[in-house]
Amino acid sequence: MWVPEVQKAFKALGDGKRECVVVGIESHICVTQTTLDLLKEGHKVYVIADGVSSCNAQEVPIALARLRAEGAVRYGHNLTALMTFADLLSSDYHDKRIVTL
């Protein structure tokens, strides 16, 4: 969620929109709220489909469909790892920062 601690971490990165990767538990609550907050702030959000869960497994596909409809990009962990490796090899990698909360 876009709580003060997250806002502070993003502010420390400087101006500009970010690419954010979201994983977590309770896809229909925490993951959804965090993703919607990041999208509202104008960030590009990638939700790792096999990196989210729920105590009710039926909630996961519903949450992922909603997030996709709202503008999030749905990926699996393998593609995310490949994209990260490609970024490491790219010349613009020095402009990327990683924040974990």
pLDDT-derived band at 76 (thresholds 50, 70, 90) equals confident
Which alpha helices (DSSP H) does 1-101 contain, by range?
A: 4-12, 32-40, 59-70, 77-89
pLDDT tens string 40-53: 999 999 999 888 99
- Main-chain phi, psi angles of 22, to 5 degrees: -115, 130
- Rounded to 10°, the helix 59-70/32-40 angle is 0
Residue 85, pLDDT score? 56
Residue 91, pLDDT score? 55
Cα 89 to Cα 63: distance, rounded to the nearest angstrom: 33
Measuring CA to CA, which residue among 32, 34, 37 is closest to residue 68? 32
Question: Taking the complete model, does pTM exceed 0.85, yes or no?
Answer: no
Mean pLDDT computed over 18-24: 88
Domains of the chain: 19-94 (3.40.50.850)
pLDDT tens string 48-70: 988 899 999 999 999 999 999 99
